[in-house]
Structure 1
Amino acid sequence: MAELVSKRYAEALFEVALEENSLDKFKEEIKAVSNILDSEKKLKTIFEHPKLSNDEKKDILNELFKDNISKEVLNFLYIIVDKGREKYIKDIKDEYIMLSNEEQGIVEGEAITAVKMDDEKLERLELELSKKLNKTIKLTNKIDQTVLGGVFVKIGDKVIDSSVKGRIDELTKSLNKASVTKKEVESK
């Protein structure tokens, strides 16, 4: 049910975005709304509370976003409130991003590193991967100290491991295979 609801609403927003030539603008706006609601747990709890009237919820949206998002996205949020679908905003955002990216030939992924990558290096990595995969790659940088060094990239179901840890793991596997082979030779 949730998937069907979020898909239907995302498609509606997507159609309006296409008409308005605002795919990226709406993507950023719906992301911002979803991120604020997700990061402010008290706000989300209040906003999704069933005893709060639709008008009160719209007032909250208006107060928070009126000057920061387009009237189309704000009106879309009002419709979500009128239909009682507030709890699906994050799912709607995810579906919308998927539709928008598909339309634009964009594939999103993660570059996981031990320390934050500077923007120039991240852009170079995106360019290099875009050329190799024949798609426009957009990466977000996630920090994970277990990476040790290098970069671990996840794009959909593809994983590119050029981290130090990945190289050590590969070397360990190779050495284990080599030692097994050596034992087999000695036993013959």
Structure 2
Amino acid sequence: MRYSVIASKYVKALLIVGQKLNKIEKYGEFLSFVKNIYESFATFFNNPIVKPEQKTLVIKQAFEEVFKESPGEAFLNFINIVFENKREKFIPQMQALYKYAAIDIENKILVNVKTAVKLSDQEIKVINDFVEKYVGKTPVIEETIDESLIAGAVIEFAGKMIDVSIKGRMDKIAKEVFFLRKG
């Protein structure tokens, strides 16, 4: 997915506010919630007849219903500005960008781990320790289950990919055999 410059500017602004108020992580959760509401009721939120204040009020009420609290004036102002400027279609992009930008601003690194089965706590600790030692940043692990790997894992971070899966080894052997037969 290509991210728009518009979405990135809104994300940058929200990150600045989140940092000042020490709510970077909370705003990430809030933005994810807003994205889900937006996608569920896109017809309402994309309706030009509905005023921005009404859209913001719906978001606020949804927050109070689910979280039993208001997201706060700063976050509601942000959402209202998004609606006033008719940028609601960028909310899904904002949420995705915010997630990655927040990880970066907190000096962390995203680590994508694909495994055939769910990792144990010990395995997660080993990966955390390895990545932290390798790049000097705190890892944020996103685990994906891919049964086609058979066993092992594929770990991606900082532009590197480490494939220690059975499927990866079998693919490597198959390429070598094919190369030998061809040669």
Q: Normalising TM by the smaller chain, what interval?
A: 0.7 to 0.9
Structure 1 residue identity aligned to 2:34? V
Distance 2:32 2:132 in 1: 23
1:106 CA drift (Å): 1.2
Q: 1:121 to 1:49 in 2, by over 3 A?
A: farther
CA distance in 1 between partners of 2:29 and 2:166 (Å): 34
2:4 alignment partner, SS class: helix
Larger-gyration structure (1/2): 1
| Residue matched to 2:53 | 55
**Contact 1:17–1:26, Cα closer than 8 Å, also in 2:** yes
Deviations, residues 97-139 of structure 1 (Å, cap 9, x unaligned): 3332222221113111222324453343222222122222211
Aligned partner letter, 1:83: N
2:136 matched residue in structure 1:
134
- Higher alpha-carbon deviation: 59-68 or 4-13: 59-68
For residue 51 of structure 2, what is the amino acid of its counterpart? S
| Counterpart amino acid of residue 102 in structure 1 | D
**TM-superposition CA deviations, 1:4-49 (whole Å, max 9, x none):** 21121111111111211222222232233324544x3xx2333223
Helix, strand or coil for the counterpart of 2:111? strand
Secondary structure at the counterpart of residue 29 of structure 1: helix
Percent same amino acid at aligned positions?
A: 25
**Length, aligned pairs only:** 177
- 1:184 maps to none
Tell me how large the CA RMSD over aligned residues is. Answer: 2.4
Is 1:121 aligned to residue 123 of structure 2? yes
Q: Given residue 28 of structure 2, which amino acid in structure 1 is its aligned partner?
A: K
- Please give the residue correspondences for 1:98-177 in structure 2 after superposition, counting only pairs within 5 Å: 98-177=100-179
Q: Aligned equivalents of 2:164 and 2:11: distance in 1?
A: 36
Contact 2:34-2:59 within 8 A present in 1 as well: no
Structure 2 counterparts to residues 29-48 of structure 1, below 5 A: 29-38=30-39, 40=40, 43-48=41-46
Cα pair 2:109 2:138 within 8 Å, conserved: yes
**Distance of aligned partners of 1:45 and 1:126 in 2 relative to their CA distance in 1, 3 Å threshold:** farther
Work out whether residues 65 and 74 of structure 1, in 8 Å CA contact, stay in contact via their aligned partners in 2. no
**2:91 paired residue among 84, 89, 92:** 89
**Cα distance change of structure 1 residues 45 and 69 upon mapping to structure 2, 3 Å threshold:** same
Residue 70 in 1 paired to residue 100 in 2? no
CA contact (8 A) 2:115 2:152 kept: yes
Check the 8 A contact 2:53/2:80 in 1, yes or no: no
